Amino acid sequence: MESESIILEYKEELNEGVFKTISAFSNTQGGKVFIGVTNKGNIKGIYISNKEFENFVNRVVNLLGIHPGMEIITLENKPIMKISIQESNLPISYKGKYYKRVGNTTRLMQDDELRNFFIKGINWDGFTGNYTLEDIQEETIRRFQRMAIENGRLRAGDEKDSIQNVLRKLKLLDADKLTNAAIMLFSKDPQKYFINTVVRIGRFKDQSTIIGDRIIGGNLFDIVEEAEETIKQFINVRYEIIDSFQRKDIWDYPLPAIREALFNAVIHRDYFKFNIQIQIKIFDDHIWFYNPGSLPEGMTIERLKTTHPSISRNPLIMNVFYLAGFVEEYGSGFGRITKALNQAGLDEPIISEDKTGFVLQFKKKEYPVEYPDIENLNERQIKAVDYLKNKGRISNKIYQEINNTSKNTSIRDLNEMIEKKLLIRIGDGRSLYYILKN
């Protein structure tokens, strides 16, 4: 007989391993199990009564929920049980565990493998849940419609549609049930259902010293807008005077590249990874974007850098952002990022990935270091600048302590430094602190 393979298994007798193998064949490519044959292919035969055969058939049906073909055949004048298994459209478990076929062996699926097996071919943003139209923010939908009409991707007059019709046309309402995409795009509070669908942005002095931290929630339209503003607070801007004495802002990194990175992050993140957030870390010399979820199946880093079709993990979210004019659907996002960086005189972005996610890095162009003009600062403010250079951040309370001054004087001094564009105010209330702009 043939050697055991990914679609062929021999068993000498009926035992628990038979059920595991049937589960594995169902979850892989299908296959055949011959019982009464050694793993070398030698025929031993199996001798069971009709009642025992019937009981086994019932156990397979009851324990696995499938009906493989089972019969007793004769080989070399000996009775052999033949079980023929078809590949299943649904995952098949045995006693709550799922198995797969690897070569000529049956193996238990690990957690990541099992998760990928369950969601293969399934889009997170298309799932429906127990949401209601009360979760939807009409203002955000109307804002989206205006953007889509201005970009020529919706017809004028569509803004008169009811909320239900808008959601239905966008495939965000399925049999009167709202999809995850509807909640993420247009809900008042998506984090009510998906707590980690936020963007966390940190300003780092080094890998272990955080001098600014923001967690940005809301729907995806709110997130990309607020995230861009937060990044702008954490990076530097200088000015150039161009023709007609117009001022041009020169940021550490071109804003179109930052926007594209943000759009790609919220569109392509793996929302099945519910225990982790999109993270952005801003260092003195580079900015680091982390997106949960590896590249889609069939996409590689090398292919990403070339002309390629768009492969979207969340097509419903992608479609809405396309209609709003935020992105194109032609797989050109990386090219636009690279072009924006090149036009700004910066290097091509650095891309990497691991089992948990995808990383994109922009390297900063080095300019001569500019320090605050201390001649325009009082002694208290100069002392604060020295403190900030060493510690990275300062609070009103610390300012009072190092200068032995009152709260009102501290507030006035710090506000003056903000007006001179030396400091950035972060947070509010008790969590309020300041960092150097440059």
Instruction: To the nearest 10°, report the CA torsion of 107, 300, 125, 335.
Output: 170
Q: Which residue has the higher pLDDT, 62 or 299?
A: 62
The mean per-residue pLDDT over the stretch 194-209 comes to: 91
Q: Helices then strands (H, E): number in the chain? A: 14, 19
CB contact at 8 A, 35 and 79? no
E strand or H helix at 84, and its extent?
A: strand 78-85
Give the β-pairing of 173-174 and 177-178.
antiparallel
- The band of 79, judged by pLDDT with boundaries at 50, 70 and 90, is very high
What CATH topology corresponds to 374-436? Arc Repressor Mutant, subunit A (1.10.10)
Task: Report the C-alpha gap between 99 and 108 in whole angstroms.
Answer: 4
CB atoms near residue 5 (< 10 Å): 12
Q: Is the pLDDT at 5 greater than 90, yes or no?
A: yes
pLDDT of residue 438: 62
Instruction: Please list the residue range(s) of the chain that carry CATH number 1.10.10.10.
Output: 374-436
* Half-sphere exposure in the Cβ direction for 97 (13 Å, CA): 13
Task: Share the mean pLDDT of the chain.
Answer: 88
Q: Which residue has the higher pLDDT, 383 or 114?
A: 383
pLDDT of residue 313: 85
Residue ranges in 28-152 assigned as alpha helix (H): 50-64, 111-119, 138-150
Per-residue DSSP letter, 262 = H
Furthest-apart CA pair in the chain: how many Å? Answer: 105
Instruction: Please list the residue range(s) of the chain that carry CATH number 3.30.950.30.
Output: 8-119
Q: Which residue has the higher pLDDT, 377 or 374?
A: 377
pLDDT of residue 337: 93
- The band of 36, judged by pLDDT with boundaries at 50, 70 and 90, is very high
Q: Which residue has the higher pLDDT, 274 or 162?
A: 162
Q: Is the pLDDT at 398 greater than 80, yes or no?
A: yes
- The band of 110, judged by pLDDT with boundaries at 50, 70 and 90, is confident
Instruction: Give per-residue pLDDT as tens, 215-230.
Output: 999 999 999 999 999 9
The mean per-residue pLDDT over the stretch 269-289 comes to: 91
CATH architecture for the domain at 8-119 = 2-Layer Sandwich (3.30)
Residues in the chain: 438
pLDDT of residue 89: 72
The mean per-residue pLDDT over the stretch 145-172 comes to: 91
Per-residue DSSP letter, 190 = G
E strand or H helix at 357, and its extent?
A: strand 357-363
pLDDT of residue 367: 54
pTM of the model: 0.65
pLDDT of residue 297: 65
pLDDT of residue 426: 87
Instruction: Please list the residue range(s) of the chain that carry CATH number 3.30.565.60.
Output: 123-367
In sequence order, the β-bridge partners of residue 9 are: 33
Instruction: Give per-residue pLDDT as tens, 227-271.
Output: 999 999 899 877 766 655 566 788 999 999 999 999 999 999 988
Lowest mean pLDDT, pick from 27-36, 87-96, 378-387: 87-96
pLDDT of residue 304: 77
CATH architecture for the domain at 123-367 = 2-Layer Sandwich (3.30)
pLDDT of residue 402: 93
The mean per-residue pLDDT over the stretch 98-111 comes to: 90
Instruction: Give per-residue pLDDT as tens, 417-432.
Output: 988 888 888 887 878 8
Instruction: Give per-residue pLDDT as tens, 299-340.
Output: 777 777 777 667 788 999 999 999 999 988 666 788 899 999
Task: Report the C-alpha gap between 134 and 149 in whole angstroms.
Answer: 25
